Amino acid sequence: FFLEVGIHLETERRQTQQSSVEIFVHLDDKESDFCICSSRMSQSMRRLTVSAKGLTSNSGTYIWKGGLEQVIQSTDHVIENTFGWTAIREIVCSQCLAEKSCKSACVWKKDYIKRCLKEGRPTVWCQDGHKVELSVICGKLPNGMHSNDRIIERNPSRRIQHCISSVVIVGLWDHNTKSLRSLGSGFVVDNNKGLIITAAHTLIEMEKTENFGEVHGRPRIGVIDSKTKEPFWYSAEIVVRNQDEVDACVLRITQETMCDFKSRRVGKLKIATDGCENDENVWILGCNQKESALVHQPITINIESPRGYVMWSFMNMQPKRDRRSFQPRQEIVIVCPNATFGHSGGPCVNREGNVVGILSRGDPIDNKRFLVPSNQLKLLYKQATEQK
């Protein structure tokens, strides 16, 4: 049978949105197209599968509490009371189901998963090399771990704090309204040449409209004073961009303000050469501002460094159909719920303080954030340094 359960979720901005959990229960033999891991079954065996689809945020709680846990308990109760059997439980790799045929998906024995939970392991590997969070596939957190243990970092290391001096505010100045139309973050990649990398969507029209690729204003760079927390503003120009495939661009401080910019002795960040690995801890550095800060001056801003971890990276292999639209070439997916408004374009650094990507976008309900990876940033930076 198929069951769809509606649930109400509260977003990061405390807005209520409706979502749903889809639950599918079916009994299959070895020859069925829906049979999980049928290669390990004999002809006489039958497999009862209970599966669900929904939001995986909050450690999979929305799926398990949205109906999956009750359906599994009810199924066990029916089997035991009707036939007197105790079902042999196996757990399927969710990544296998997403990437290949269910007939060849990998499974784990329930006892193995229980042992991993008892040992406090947050993730488990399948035979095909997929790394999956235990909380998502079994609805429970490992011993000694709370839902935010791997995510929130109140006191980042000194190395991360040192990186904050290289973070700047990026805005788009509207000459008609005499205000900033857009506001985000960025980082200094070359303080000698005055080069800054930020998210392209902060400055460039990225929506699929007739104005795609246009810039409606003058880029402004704000360097935060460490004492007053107020920015010193500098004019800038976009020197390198690729809004069709990369949500990033390179800015350069204009000549008339370059001398004053250098006098601030702003730091710079190094772009990582090796990228990042799954489950690696990372920090997003950005300016936390409220939307009202777009029109009020002066602006008092604190640069924050919420911690997250890498889930996976992927490359878009589908050919682009519409030239006047944005289709990301490659992205990194991380979990970082504390990245908020104004962090867009901010650098995401590893423990060494090297930039593994910049924040491009996030899911309004889920805790996932999407980064422009370091290899794409290096290509843009190389083009900027080659210009005269």
Q: Tens digits of per-residue pLDDT, 212-267?
A: 888 889 999 999 887 777 888 999 999 999 998 999 999 999 998 899 998 888 99
Q: Indicate the DSSP class of residue 254.
A: -
Q: Indicate the DSSP class of residue 271.
A: B
Split at pLDDT 50, 70, 90, the class of 152 is very low
| Helices and strands, number each (H, E), in the chain | 8, 21
| Per-residue model confidence as pLDDT tens digits over 297-352 | 445 456 777 778 787 888 876 656 666 778 898 999 988 877 777 789 999 999 88
Q: Indicate the DSSP class of residue 313.
A: E
Give the rounded distance of the alpha carbon of 361 from its chain centre: 7
Q: Indicate the DSSP class of residue 129.
A: S
Average pLDDT value over all residues in the chain: 82
Q: What is the mean pLDDT of residues 3-32?
A: 75
% of the chain residues with pLDDT over 90: 27
Split at pLDDT 50, 70, 90, the class of 148 is very low
In the predicted structure, residue 17 carries a pLDDT above the cut 70 = no
Rounded to an integer, what distance in angstroms lies between the CA atom of residue 40 and that of residue 1? Answer: 25
Closest listed residue to residue 108, CA positions, set 43, 36, 21, 33: 36
Tokens of 215: 């810039």
Poorest-pLDDT segment among 75-84, 127-136, 285-294:
285-294
The total of other beta-carbon atoms located within 10 Å of residue 335's CB is 21
Strands 131-133 and 281-284: unpaired
Closest listed residue to residue 342, CA positions, set 295, 285, 289: 289
Q: Indicate the DSSP class of residue 208.
A: S
pLDDT of residue 57: 65
| Per-residue model confidence as pLDDT tens digits over 168-210 | 999 998 888 888 878 899 999 999 999 999 999 999 998 867 7
Rounded to an integer, what distance in angstroms lies between the CA atom of residue 183 and that of residue 207? Answer: 17
Q: What is the mean pLDDT of residues 363-372?
A: 81
Among 143-152, 180-189, 287-296, the range of highest mean pLDDT: 180-189
Strands 218-224 and 231-241: antiparallel
For the full predicted model, state whether its pTM sits above 0.75: no
Burial 68-103 (b: 16+ CB within 10 A, else e): beebbeeeeeeeeeeeeeeeeebbbbbbbbeeeebb
